[in-house]
Structure 1
């Protein structure tokens, strides 16, 4: 990994829940020594990618990140085109819906729509989605670039007792997803959340991201699973169309087959 890559990778540790990070904390999170981390932060600060809070002395994202984000959305308007499909998905399922995008080897959160139907609902509060533990990450492993599996295997962090933490367990989970066309995380990232996702494609014809529904596990019945899958297909088609792509015929075939066997992924629990 080059010095530039290592410096830019520090930006991925900032999130809405962790908007400011001190030097020592960032060293622990990134698993790097203090001298190297400080040098990278100085370079990022000069470029405007991070800035220091003058009061706390902690680091936060800088104005250059906002400028790049605005330019990205203006030139590749993906977020805006997800709003209506996500709203419809939330309305029809009654659960939280969200979209993630694949950038390099990471799945980043792009948009979220919370359902007002339930007082208790899934809260999406992460920016980078673990490939081996989330529905969207597993969807990427099943339908994205082959090199993603090596990335996932390099960090099989255990989040719950259901997380795939061995190569064979992860391989079996991904193989099952390839049989249905739907990513599925059965309490593997959070013990109280069940997730289902469908792949998204762009104008290149390649996997570009995933649209997902996160449900409180106690509400996740076979009937709700079937409803979620039905409307995930619609949302995936709509978003993929908005991104200039089309759903591959073999994915459409997997969906059709999966909906005639609603419990196809039960064996992955």
Structure 2
């Protein structure tokens, strides 16, 4: 039983080696990295090849990932529900920060909050699930917009922007500068821009292709969030990185 489990683990390790390696690898390189004999690696490859997980190039005898993995990956994507998948991370972030946490997704030119975990504090901020906002309007929305193509951003801002408070950005040029900062930092922090007295921290969620169509955010009264701002930023960005990694992002 132990040998069988070891073989399965070695097979999984072999497959994952291709994630950060050239398209094709030979037995010698695989043997060296796995620290297994060439004979053992040959057996692993033969088994994986028989099930379509590995394929061999008949010209150079090198190995690459097989199409069965593509079928399985497509099945995962088809069955994947981001809201359900992210729930545990959203809950953990709320438990850690004790503030409202939200999952936001992009729907064409708008952002939608699709899930939330409410703060346990008696004084707290709230958001309406499934309410739509322009992609420049909230911290969670801007954390998505900052990682879109320049032409898309231009199309969002070309008709002007709406202001929500006296502290809101008032010109598209201001939004563009802020998006550059968000892109460089990897997160957004805003205060009073959508609601006075409220602070939001948001970070992008990357999918397996490196695209950003969702974000996770934490929102609370500014006077409660600011004293622990750096810690709160770390909690939010760590959570976003963990979700991204689970979605297959390897940036």
- The TM tier, using the shorter chain, reads 0.5 to 0.7
In the alignment, structure 1 residue 144 sits paired with structure 2 residue 148: yes
- Of 174, 181, 186 in structure 2, the residue corresponding to residue 181 of structure 1 is 186
- Flag the structure with larger Rg: 2
Aligned to 1:202: 207
Aligned to 1:241: 245
| Contact 1:100 1:209 (C-alpha < 8 Å) held by counterparts | yes
Report SS of the residue matched to 2:186: coil
- Of 71, 82, 88 in structure 2, the residue corresponding to residue 84 of structure 1 is 88
Return the offset for 1:77: 1.0
Unaligned runs of at least 5 residues, structure 1: 1-72, 249-269
Aligned mates of 1:176, 1:241 — CA distance in 2: 23
Question: Do the aligned partners of residues 149 and 137 (structure 1) sit closer, same or farther apart at CA in structure 2, a change above 3 Å counting?
Answer: farther
Aligned to 1:45: none
The 5 A counterparts of 1:220-239 are 220-221=225-226, 223-239=227-243
The 5 A counterparts of 1:250-261 are none
Per-residue CA shift, 1:63-96, capped at 9, x if unaligned?
xxxxxxxxxx983311111111111111111110
The 5 A counterparts of 1:29-178 are 75-116=79-120, 118-125=121-128, 127-146=131-150, 147-178=152-183
Report SS of the residue matched to 1:188: coil
Aligned to 1:190: 195
Aligned mates of 2:154, 2:86 — CA distance in 1: 27
| Contact 1:81 1:242 (C-alpha < 8 Å) held by counterparts | no
Report SS of the residue matched to 2:166: coil
Return the offset for 1:225: 1.2
- Of 217, 226, 242 in structure 2, the residue corresponding to residue 212 of structure 1 is 217
Return the offset for 1:135: 0.4
Question: Do the aligned partners of residues 187 and 168 (structure 1) sit closer, same or farther apart at CA in structure 2, a change above 3 Å counting?
Answer: same
Aligned mates of 2:145, 2:127 — CA distance in 1: 20
TM-score, with structure 1 as normaliser: 0.59
TM-score, with structure 2 as normaliser: 0.63
Aligned-residue CA RMSD in angstroms?
2.0
List, as ranges, runs of 4+ consecutive aligned residues in structure 1 with deviation greater than 4 Å.
none
Question: Do the aligned partners of residues 92 and 159 (structure 1) sit closer, same or farther apart at CA in structure 2, a change above 3 Å counting?
Answer: same
Aligned mates of 2:155, 2:189 — CA distance in 1: 20
* Count of matched residue positions in the alignment of Structure 1 and Structure 2: 173
| Contact 1:199 1:209 (C-alpha < 8 Å) held by counterparts | yes
Question: Do the aligned partners of residues 113 and 149 (structure 1) sit closer, same or farther apart at CA in structure 2, a change above 3 Å counting?
Answer: farther
| Contact 1:140 1:209 (C-alpha < 8 Å) held by counterparts | yes
